[in-house]
Amino acid sequence: DAKTTQPTSMDCAEGRAANLPCNHSTISGNEYVYWYRQIHSQGPQYIIHGLKNNETNEMASLIITEDRKSSTLILPHATLRDTAVYYCIVRVYTGGGNKLTFGTGTQLKVEL
Amino acid sequence: DSGVTQTPKHLITATGQRVTLRCSPRSGDLSVYWYQQSLDQGLQFLIQYYNGEERAKGNILERFSAQQFPDLHSELNLSSLELGDSALYFCASSVGSMGDRINTEAFFGQGTRLTVV
């Protein structure tokens, strides 16, 4: 799997947009970008994923650069409940068994 | 609620013992994944099963084994337990094997916290 690089931590004011960057400069053409988050030792929660195009769902938006070497997860109106570790993962299609390889993630702290 | 059920939630056992962790995937999901999360290691992939067959293996110790049954639930067996095996163990499930072009997401359970004393 392609390696990802994320900032160790970020702060965000409640109600503001949280923009979490991820670098994946070695990503290949068939590799998807996934985002998960983990709230204080709970099970990781799926947020969103994408291949080339920007994606949006009820939780967040995913912006992938044209060269696909980086992406940004956007939480449009962060709340205190969004405080968590956010993991950016690049997932490859191999046609067989697979896994999500978690890095160290970004600790997002949403404050009043 | 992700729909993935793990039991037990907490487990305390002594070194040298053997334990079994159980996972019930979401209805309709064929793939089950096991992860270990300890304080100093982060989330580590252990093993994946798809419809009863082993599909991928991570850094799973030889003292650990898993299986997926015909009803698709899975068990992770940990034997000859050591203090260092204390960790959170997560199970996740997905519709496909995640090698599918559909690239479906995986849903995680709430984990089993294992404490070896």
pLDDT classification of B102: cutoffs 50, 70, 90? low
Please give the torsion angle defined by the CA atoms of residues A49, A53, A57 and A61, in that order, rounded to the nearest 10 degrees: 90
Burial call A80-99: b when 16+ CB within 10 Å, e when fewer? eebbbbbbbbbbbbeeebbb
- In degrees and rounded to multiples of 5, residue A82 shows phi and psi of -85, 0
Maximal CA-CA distance, chain A: 46
* pLDDT range class, residue A1, cuts 50, 70, 90: low
A97 to B55: CB separation less than 8 angstroms, yes or no: yes
- The residue among B2 and A13 whose pLDDT is bigger is A13
**Average pLDDT of every residue of chain A:** 90
pLDDT at B100: 52
Q: What percent of chain A has pLDDT over 70?
A: 91
Q: How far is CA B12 from CA A26, A105, B18, B87, B117, in A?
A: 42, 29, 11, 11, 7
pLDDT higher at B99 or A26:
A26
Of the candidates A32, A91, A97, which has its C-beta nearest B48's C-beta?
A: A97
Separation of alpha carbons B98 and B45, rounded Å: 14
pLDDT value of position A107: 96
> Cis omega (within 30 of 0) on the bond before B8?
yes
Residues of chain A contacting B2 with CB distance shorter than 8 Å? 43, 45
Closest CA to B34 of B4, B79, B3: B4
A85-94 pLDDT, tens per residue? 999 988 765 5
Exposed/middle/buried for residue B53 (C-beta within 10 Å: 0-12, 13-18, 19+): exposed
Q: What is the pLDDT of residues A15-54, one digit of tens each?
A: 999 999 999 998 888 788 999 999 988 999 999 999 898 9
Q: Would you state the structure tokens that stand for residue A29, as one six-digit string? A: 């053409």
How far from the centroid of its chain's Cα atoms is residue A47's Cα? 8
Does B45 contact A99 at a Cβ distance shorter than 8 Å? yes
Q: Do the beta carbons of residue A12 and residue A111 sit within 8 Å?
A: yes
